[in-house]
Homo-oligomer: A and B are copies of this chain.
Amino acid sequence: MDPQGVPYTPETAAIDVEKALKMLEGRWKLLILFQLFDGGVRRFSELERAIPAVTQKMLAQQLRQLEKDGIVLRRVYPEIPPKVEYSLTRWGQSLCPALDALLTWAGKRPDGGHQT
């Protein structure tokens, strides 16, 4: 990465960050990632159950985007009945520290005291 001709400036960095963040945008993506985060391999229906509020359409759509972005791996077993498993790609796993930090933060509640 980073071909030697390309200078690394704050501007190009900002663009990279923006593109990377875009991959995580979407109402359900982080929730999906949290399911896969623990090294988990989950089937479509397992994800549906784990995230009750999501619809089939949105789940499928966001999974496909994550797959296209190389974050999630989709493995299809040509069986009857169909079986599809989702997991993190190697690159997706590089997200784990961030996912972990996010989860930690989300677990904290604001103390309700005066903010400074």
Contacts and interface: CB of A to CB of B under 8 A. Distances in A.
Contacts of A13: 107
Size bracket, chain A contacts: 35 or more
A31 interface: yes
Contact of A98 (B25, B104, B111): B104
Given A17-B31, A90-B116, 5 more contacts: A1-B112, A14-B31, A18-B53, A70-B110, A98-B98
Contacts of A18: 31, 53
B94 A16 contact: no
Interface in A27-71: 27, 30-31, 34, 51, 53, 70
A116 B89 CA distance: 5
